């Protein structure tokens, strides 16, 4: 009796197996240390099948994070007008999504997972290079490798205090006030001279 050898073909549970393997790989090895081939091997499929389902490593990362929205689409309007005024557009787009009661539970779950010390590489090697740094690059800011972690410090602080820990008065502050408070700092990080 000759059993079938090699990697299993695509099946309804293949996508789920790939995502499970990707979550584990990204958590254990970070974004930079994870390859499509390694995820495919962990899932028991061919790397071409991972590319078929997800396209690129960035797309696989976003799918593995179970984000209820694609942050690149959310932030696209912030990029449209160039660097002038980008701080306000960025914070407005960000807050509009996070304040949405249908999206917030899923976003908070992802935030909690990324804040877990055992998953810190998801934040440092996934969220920053895949979601935050491309914003600076698309805006054409100088030294995005320095500026965008500063932007992320404000964004992560806002997520943690307003949405995860629900610290007052920030938790109940009207969104317009949040934008007016955070946008100047974000704008400064994007366009003012760095020390």
In a domain, 118, yes or no: yes
> Are 77 and 128 in the same domain?
yes
Label residue 7 by pLDDT band (50, 70, 90): very low
Of 64, 88, 105, which marks where a domain is finished?
64
How many angstroms separate the Cα of 81 from the Cα of each of 9, 76, 78, 112?
45, 10, 7, 32
Tell whether the model's pLDDT for residue 193 goes beyond 90: yes
pLDDT of residue 22: 85
| DSSP secondary structure code for residue 126 in this structure | I
For residue 19, give its domain range.
14-64
Label residue 119 by pLDDT band (50, 70, 90): low
- The predicted model scores a pTM of 0.70
> Are 52 and 129 in the same domain?
no
CA-nearest of 188, 89, 92, 180 to 141 is 188
The total number of structural domains in the chain stands at 2
Tell whether the model's pLDDT for residue 8 goes beyond 50: no
CATH number for the domain harbouring residue 60: 1.10.10.60
CATH number for the domain harbouring residue 131: 1.10.357.10
> Are 108 and 142 in the same domain?
yes
In a domain, 3, yes or no: no
In a domain, 103, yes or no: yes
Give 123-149 pLDDT, tens digit per residue: 777 777 777 888 888 899 999 989 999
Give 35-64 pLDDT, tens digit per residue: 999 999 999 999 999 999 988 887 888 777
Give 76-105 pLDDT, tens digit per residue: 888 888 999 999 999 999 999 999 988 887
> Are 87 and 180 in the same domain?
yes
In a domain, 2, yes or no: no
In a domain, 9, yes or no: no
> Are 180 and 96 in the same domain?
yes
Distance CA 159, CA 122 (A): 16
Give 20-33 pLDDT, tens digit per residue: 888 788 767 767 77
């Amino acid at each position: 009796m000759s059993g079938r050898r090699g990697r299993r073909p695509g099946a309804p549970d293949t996508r789920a197996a790939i995502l499970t393997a990707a979550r584990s790989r990204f958590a254990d090895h970070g974004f930079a240390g994870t390859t499509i081939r390694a995820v495919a091997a962990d899932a028991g499929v061919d790397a071409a099948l991972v590319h078929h389902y997800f396209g690129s490593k960035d797309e696989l990362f976003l799918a593995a994070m179970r984000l209820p929205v694609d942050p690149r689409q959310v932030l696209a309007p912030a990029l449209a007008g160039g660097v002038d005024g980008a701080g306000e557009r960025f914070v407005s787009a960000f807050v509009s999504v996070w304040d949405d009661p249908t999206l917030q539970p899923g976003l908070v779950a992802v935030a909690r997972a990324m804040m877990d010390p055992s998953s810190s590489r998801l934040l440092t090697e996934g969220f920053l290079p895949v979601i935050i740094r491309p914003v600076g690059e698309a805006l054409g800011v100088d030294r995005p490798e320095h500026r965008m972690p500063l932007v992320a410090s404000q964004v992560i602080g806002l997520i943690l205090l307003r949405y995860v820990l629900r610290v007052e008065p920030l938790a109940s502050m009207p969104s317009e006030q949040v934008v007016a408070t955070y946008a100047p700092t974000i704008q400064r990080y994007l366009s003012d001279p760095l020390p």
